[in-house]
Amino acid sequence: MTDLPMIDLLGFWLGIFLTFCILSFLYKDNPFYKFAEHLFIGVSISYVITQQYYNVLRPKLVDRLAHADHWFWTWDVFALILVVLMFVKVMSSRLGWLGRYPLAFVVALYAGLQINGVAQADLGQQIQRATKNMDLRKVNVNKMCKQSDDDERKACIERQEKALAGVPGISSVVAVKVRKGAEQKPFGSLDDIAKLATLSEAERSTFSAARGSVIGTDAKAATTSGQRDWFGIFSQILLFIGLLASLVYFYFSVEHKGTIGKISRFGVWVLMIGFGASFGLTVQGRIALAIGRVQDVAGTNMTKHQADQIHGPVVALVSVGIIIAGLVIWELREKRKRQAGPTSGGEK
């Protein structure tokens, strides 16, 4: 185990101190908070400028122009002209309009990329998903692939294994074992799958834990063909109605009253449930950030050797001590200033 370099240690200590500086805002706006805030902004901006220079401007522009020899020079000069035009916007109000060209170039480039991507990935694929057959059937675990043609049989096996892997509690590895098991002796019930000798203990326990007739294994798989997945059908209908109702809420060409009003109201409820889920997850993310800071201070998300070198809890206590002492001194000075304020103001 190598020791952490001094610069890394200082980084960890500064990180802990700055965390408490930011938290001191809970008391009130104060110099410690201001210091941490300004330091963060300053470091961020300088980091961005350095990173952009070394990763973009130098290799893509400076180096290329320095080593350019023939015709493609012009393309690099074109990039340089666009960069210069950006600065014209802030340096001259008369020629400011020239700054629109690089912006137009960037906007057009990303609009082109986005239109293509959104149309293919969001619109096309999601419409395909929304128009899925509503009459969902359970996967038949005993389905046999007995085609005489080898290619057809192979394709059938692939389809069957893929379908089985979509059932809760059945991984792609288990799917192969289940298919082979059914080929040897068809399953009388889903309980027989758990008794397969080829399953490991972990796979067996995962399968048993996923059993359930509403959304579990029993809801999605059966030992005979043609059985319906009723909860799946209900979910599909709910999704379809929810989608239409949400769209109606945003349709303003008809007044939202009567039946349309009721559908629109249902659409609002669907949207609210969606926003509620987003809000809950946002809260989760924010709490996770706080947990991350506690883990850093306590040293639980690093090796024991590193934690022993950093002494996070001690640094935290020292930081809190410094901040409290600093705040007391600052408050006393502020109090003195306030007391002296009216007199000095009068003198002026």
Partner 1 sequence: MAEARKQDWIDKLHDFDRRWIFLAMGIAIIVPFFFPLGLPVQVSPMVRSVYDTVEELHEGDVVFLSLDMDPASVPELQPFYKAVLLQLKQKRVKIAIATTWYAAPPMLERWIRETVEANFVPDDAPAEKGLPDRDHVKNKLAKSKEGRYVKNVDYVWLGFREGKEAVISGMGKDLHDTFDGRAADGTKLSDIPWMKDRRQLKDFKLLILVSAGFPGIKEYVQQVQARYKLRMVGSCTAVSTTDLTPYYDSGQLLGLAGGMTAAAEYEKLVNHRGSGTQGAEVLNVGHIVVILAIIFGNIIFFVGRARERKRRAA
**261 interacts with partner 1 by CB under 8 A:** no
Q: Which one, 97 or 234, has the nearer CB to partner 1?
A: 234
Q: Does the footprint of partner 1 cover residue 274 (CB under 8 A)?
A: yes
Site string for partner 1, 309-328 (x = CB under 8 A): --------------------
Chosen residue from 84, 103, 108, 290 binding partner 1 by CB under 8 A: 290
The reply to whether 198 sits near partner 1 by the rule CB under 8 A is no
> Applying CB under 8 A, which of residues 237, 294, 314, 325 lies at the interface with partner 1?
294
40-69: contacts with partner 1 (CB under 8 A): 47-48, 51-52, 55-56, 59
Q: How far is the CB of 236 from partner 1 (least distance, A)?
A: 11
Q: Which is nearer to partner 1, 144 or 244 (CB)?
A: 244
Residue 125 binding partner 1, by CB under 8 A: yes
Of 83-91, 95-103, 299-307, 327-335, the segment contacting partner 1 by CB under 8 A is 299-307
Which of 6, 7, 26, 197 is close enough to bind partner 1 by CB under 8 A? 26
Q: How many residues form the binding site for partner 1 (CB under 8 A)?
A: 52
Closest CA to 11 of 325, 326, 306: 306
Which residue ranges make up the site for partner 1 (CB under 8 A)?
A: 26, 47-48, 51-52, 55-56, 59, 109-110, 113-114, 117-118, 120-122, 124-126, 128-129, 165, 168, 171-173, 200-202, 274, 277-278, 281-285, 287-295, 298, 300-301, 303-304
